[in-house]
Amino acid sequence: MNYYSLNKIAPISTFKNSVIKGLAPDKGLYFPESITPLPASFFDTIEHLTNETIAYETIKQFVLPEIPEDDLKQIVSETLSFDFPVVTLTNSISTLELFHGPTMAFKDVGARFMARCLGYFNKENTQEVTVLVATSGDTGGAVAHGFLGVKGVKVVILYPSGKVSDIQEKQLTTLKKNITALEVNGTFDDCQAMVKQAFLDESITNHKQLTSANSINVARWLPQMFYFMFAYKQLKNKHEKLVFSVPSGNFGNICAGMMAQQLGLPVAHFVASNNANKVVTEYLLTKNYEPKPSVQTISNAMDVGNPSNFVRIEAIYNNDFQYLKQHLSSYSFTDTQTINALKELYNEYNYVADPHGAVGYLGAKEYLKERPDSHVVFLETAHPTKFLDVVEATIQENVELPEQILKVMDKKKQSIKISTYEELKSFLLEH
């Protein structure tokens, strides 16, 4: 499989080069040259397949032969070392829990897959690779854990000071070894802008091999197709019109679901559930795509004012606005609505959600007003204890801390504070 830049100026790229470079030289995101649907028999018998088999069949066309079949199967097996249960709340609404991995966030899948791909490509590479990543919350912890101890790889994580939860911060600032956390005086958008600038700064890239572990990287983004497949496997014989409501920030997750749909996954529709950062919600109403400075909310991982992956979504639907609207709806919700949703989920269904899942639930309910014959699955993207202050204050109950969280609670945070791009540049060149 070859990849091209969505800016269409850079040369065609291999999977290996796309993973190692992260971003194309023309600043564009890489996108596969072709998408071949899986045979109908795959979906007809999916309930009889293991998750590992489903994931391998889903990803292989995008990776083979650059990673050989046996190695790719091993990477998939190591990536999927936890469960992806669907919990049904009503006849019309279920939730897909994506928080059973080591850092209790959906990004564990992409981070683990990418780390193993980069480790494979780096086996005979004498040049050290620096993974440079911006996080609005969960990406940092997932990437830090996924790449911990990977030979020949250093990880530098930029996160906005005071704008991630305490547990999220602990997960990305306490691992040491080959992981460094840079605490940025600014927003997630500032962090992301710094990362993109570094990739295009030849005074850095002439001396350092940089790659990204944000969802702009194809090896972080594409494996997220897996759990849409897993949800279908569990719900196939129960519901016909399956819709996914995805809490959306940088839009990599929902974009991966759309890629699964291109492979033949029977999905009726997608809902992008936004918090107050509602660039896409407004675009679908006005046809005017206008990035804005991000707004801080209690669902902080979605505090993104310029979602990187939306350009990939446009590519999937051939940059046709009406075609896109046939497949995508988007709604925006306030923090007050999110808190009320957390209460409703707990009081009516005895379900403890996190703020991002609550936004997904609100999106599901809104869509069902228009299409009540659907079954909507909202993605629960992080464990509620990662947002302990908000969740416990809302439901008025203590939430039991899982082992993954207890491990980091008492560890000492280690971060380096920066405010400007020049400080990031100096750090990268000196270390």
pLDDT for 189 equals 85
pLDDT greater than 80 at residue 187 = yes
Q: Give domain status of residue 349, yes or no.
A: yes
Q: CA 371 → CA 255, 349, 366, distances in Å?
A: 22, 22, 9
pLDDT for 199 equals 87
* Enclosing H/E stretch for 115: helix 107-121
Give the confidence band of 66 by pLDDT, cuts at 50, 70, 90: very high
Backbone φ, ψ for residue 203 (5° rounding) = -70, -15
Q: Give domain status of residue 10, yes or no.
A: no
pLDDT for 395 equals 95
Q: Give domain status of residue 198, yes or no.
A: no
pLDDT for 253 equals 95
Higher pLDDT, 27 or 36: 36
**Number of independent structural domains in the chain:** 1
* Enclosing H/E stretch for 11: none
pLDDT for 215 equals 86
Residue 4's beta-bridge partner residues?
A: 31
Q: Give domain status of residue 242, yes or no.
A: yes
Of the listed ranges 43-47, 104-108, 210-214, 268-272, the one predicted with least confidence: 210-214
Copy the structure tokens of residue 310: 């939306």
pLDDT for 310 equals 96
pLDDT greater than 90 at residue 238 = no
- Percent of the chain scoring above 70 in pLDDT: 100
* Residue span of the structural domain in which 323 resides: 83-106+221-404
Copy the structure tokens of residue 200: 């295009």
Copy the structure tokens of residue 429: 């060149």
Complete DSSP assignment for 231-249: HHHHHTTT-SSEEEEEE-S
Q: How far apart are CA 389 and CA 386, in angstroms?
A: 9
Complete DSSP assignment for 389-402: HHHHHHHTS--PPP
The order of strands in the sheet holding 129-134 is 209-212, 129-134, 153-160, 179-184, 416-418
Q: Give domain status of residue 278, yes or no.
A: yes
pLDDT for 98 equals 97
Residue listed under structure tokens 């629960």: 380
The stretches of 263-411 forming alpha helices (DSSP H) are 279-286, 310-316, 321-327, 335-349, 355-370, 388-395, 403-409
Averaged pLDDT score across all residues of the chain? 93
Q: How far apart are CA 424 and CA 418, in angstroms?
A: 7
SS3 134: strand
With contact defined as beta carbons under 8 Å apart, do 389 and 104 qualify?
A: no
pLDDT for 141 equals 85
Q: Give domain status of residue 8, yes or no.
A: no
pLDDT greater than 90 at residue 223 = yes
Query: Does the bond joining 39 to the residue before it have cis omega, within 30 degrees of 0?
Result: no
Q: How far apart are CA 233 and CA 71, in angstroms?
A: 25
User: Per-residue pLDDT averaged across 375-387, rounded?
Assistant: 94
pLDDT for 327 equals 97
pLDDT in tens, 129-177: 899 999 877 788 888 888 898 888 999 999 999 988 888 899 889 988 9
Distance of CA 229 to the CA centre of its chain: 16
- The set of residues, in sequence order, having a beta carbon less than 8 Å from that of 403 and lying 6+ positions away, is none
Q: How far apart are CA 40 and CA 368, in angstroms?
A: 28
Give the confidence band of 401 by pLDDT, cuts at 50, 70, 90: confident
Residue 184's beta-bridge partner residues?
A: 160, 418
- The set of residues, in sequence order, having a beta carbon less than 8 Å from that of 404 and lying 6+ positions away, is 102, 103, 104, 383
Q: Give domain status of residue 410, yes or no.
A: no
Residue listed under structure tokens 């675009």: 283
Backbone φ, ψ for residue 30 (5° rounding) = -75, 145
Widest Cα–Cα separation across the chain = 59
Q: Give domain status of residue 338, yes or no.
A: yes
What is the CATH number for 267?
3.40.50.1100
